[in-house]
Structure 1
Amino acid sequence: MDFHCHLDLYPGAKEVSREASRRNEFTWLVTTSPRAYEATSRVLGCLPRVLISPGLHPELVGERAGELTLLLEQMVRCRAVGEVGIDGTYRFKPTLIDQRRVFEAVVARSKELGGRVLSIHSRGAVKEVLPILLKYPGFGTAVLHWFSGTASEMATAHRMGCWFSIGPAAFASAAGRSLMTKLPRDRVLPETDGPFASSDGVPLPPWSIEKTAALFSPIWDCSAGEAQAILVSNGRRLLAIMGWPPAA
């Protein structure tokens, strides 16, 4: 399983996508813009066990905010949306107002449509993201991708019903490893964020759940196999919420 990756951006994307479809029970391909979603859907088509979702990455809002209307239209036929969110780091502060506007529009649209599962980018912006989610009860389910907020913010997000998708790269720093010990194990999902996240300089492939499980094993005081079973069980629970696989 991989609940957040960019299959369309790997070198040899078609081959990697086919391999992910073969190896994984489920792979969530998040796109970075509505136009990218359309192109990826055309090129990769309907792969078994691969979900392609429309999104508008906060890092691209400065140049692609005009695609918001298209995204809101695409959401009508998609039960999941991503990657969306807010990036509060210094580099993207100039577009913060537009990022908030876009993200709030997506959450409001999710509520209007009866609920969607959102893969949310919140780097340096958890304090921006959570109040918007609270403003629209009934928006659906939030999956906070590669969570890097504070322990207090994590606890708040957990109380709100948020999930957390985590990959091996989240363990790269001491601060990251410390934060991982505080995650509620019943809401953790495996992800890679490949090809952007890497291991030993190589992009993490979408079939990296065993690596993620091995990293959670000592934290959860269980074997790697048991940790993987927890991740898979969590994933299946979220897929049921998502209504995946779709009815024929």
Structure 2
Amino acid sequence: MLIDSHCHLDRLKIAPDQASLQEVISAAKARDIAYFLCVNVRQQGFIDMKQKMAAFDEVFLSAGVHPLDVQDGLNIQEVEQFARDEKVVAIGETGLDYFYANETKALQQTCFEQQIDLAVKVNKPLIIHTRDAREDTINFLKRGKADTVGGVLHCFTEDWEMAKAAIDLGFYISVSGIVTFKNAGELRNVIRKVPKDRLLVETDSPYLAPVPHRGKENQPAFVRDVAEFVAELRGEKYPELAQYTTENFFTLFKDAARLAGR
């Protein structure tokens, strides 16, 4: 059994309605993917996302505002209401992105601080997006006592120093299809070093489809390709990696309940 620990099912162009979304989930299940974490990026999109996922017990949710969407505003009281929903298992996707939006740096930092505080308040882990903001990301997590709730640096593309700093704070490292790209040599070296009890796998679908699906819209079924690649990269068997990344998911996202028989 495998879990897509980070995807945006509500943003899939190939799944605009319930019927097509069911097809996407069924295709993933056919490849042994049993659970999905659908990650919120815009506060204004949470209710629609929740409604679209309501029929799927195997889909968990997060609540938060992405650093590239902070200009749309953050009402932390409303996000807290969303965060207390029984299907919400994490706060985020939040973080810092100075690569694509350095001009909103100050606003990103304010929103990041607020969401770290919220995660601690509601006792749910954080889902972190970080790009060209290594030092600030770690410092904000330390100052906000994020180590008390933990979390994950998703779609990891940074160096081992940052990975180690996050792991030391009790965070996990999640690897996406980027690791399969031919120019991902440095990332592969990092992923080889991540301890078994701190690794997750994801698609970040509909973005970043892994080899051999480049050029297609990414979907949760492709997390199997990521997992198989990572297992070979680390000198492990796929079933072993599938088992321990699944256990890691449920350890981190403690509010995510296993379904009967799975």
Q: Please report the TM-score for the alignment, with normalisation by the length of structure 2.
A: 0.83
Does residue 98 of structure 2 align to residue 84 of structure 1? no
After TM superposition, give the deviation of residue 29 of structure 1 in Å: 0.4
Q: What RMSD in Å do the two structures reach over aligned CA positions?
A: 2.3
Contact 2:98 2:105 in 1 (8 A): yes
Q: Which amino acid aligns with 1:157?
A: A
User: For residue 184 of structure 1, what is the aligned residue in structure 2?
Assistant: 195
> Partner residue of 1:34?
43
Query: In the TM superposition, what whole-angstrom CA distance separates every residue of 1:166-225 from its partner, at most 9, and x where no partner exists?
Result: 122233222222222222222111100011112321122212232122212233222233
1:232 CA drift (Å): 2.5
SS of aligned partner of 2:84: helix
TM-score normalised by the chain length of structure 1: 0.88
- Deviation, structure 1 residue 92: 0.5
Query: Match for 1:79: what amino acid?
Result: V
Q: Residue 243 and residue 39 in structure 1: after superposition, are their counterparts in 2 closer, same or farther (change >3 A)? A: closer
In the alignment of these two chains, the number of paired residues is: 243
Read off the aligned partner of 1:37 and give its amino acid letter. Answer: F
**Partner residue of 1:127?**
135
**Structure (1/2) with the larger helix percentage:** 1
Range that drifts further, 217-226 or 180-189: 217-226
Matched, 1:165 2:174: yes
Structure 1 gap ranges (5+): none
1:1-248 equivalences in 2 (<5 Å)? 1-13=3-15, 14=17, 15=19, 17-19=21-23, 21-22=25-26, 23=29, 24-62=33-71, 64-77=72-85, 78-89=88-99, 91-113=100-122, 115-137=123-145, 139-172=148-181, 173-198=184-209, 199-239=213-253, 241-245=254-258
Q: What SS is found at the alignment partner of 2:197? A: helix
Deviation of 1:230 after TM superposition, in Å, equals 2.8
2:174–2:201 contact (8 Å) kept in structure 1: yes
Question: In 2, Cα distance between the equivalents of 1:28 and 1:151?
Answer: 25
> How far apart, CA to CA, are the structure 2 residues paired with 1:100 and 1:39?
26
Distance 1:242-1:164 versus aligned 2 partners, 3 A rule: farther
Instruction: Report deviation, 1:245.
Output: 4.5
Q: Which has the higher contact order (CA 8 A, sep 6+)?
A: 2
Q: Gaps spanning 5+ residues in structure 2: where?
A: none
Aligned equivalents of 1:66 and 1:161: distance in 2?
Answer: 27
SS where residue 181 of structure 1 aligns?
helix
Does structure 2 conserve the Cα–Cα contact (< 8 Å) formed by 1:65 and 1:98?
Answer: no
3-state SS in 2 of match to 1:116: coil
Aligned sequence identity (%): 22
Aligned pair in 2 of structure 1 residues 237, 72: CA closer, same or farther (>3 Å)? closer
Q: Does the CA contact (< 8 Å) of 1:33 and 1:67 recur in 2?
A: no
Runs of 4+ deviating beyond 6 Å: none
Cα shift at 1:65: 2.0
Distance 1:147 1:10 in 2: 21
Describe the SS at the equivalent of 1:72: helix
The letter of the residue matching 1:72 is: E
Structure 2 counterpart of 1:224, which letter?
Y
Equivalent pair of 2:39/2:93 in contact (CA under 8 Å):
yes
- Whether contact under 8 Å (2:158, 2:187) holds in the other structure is no
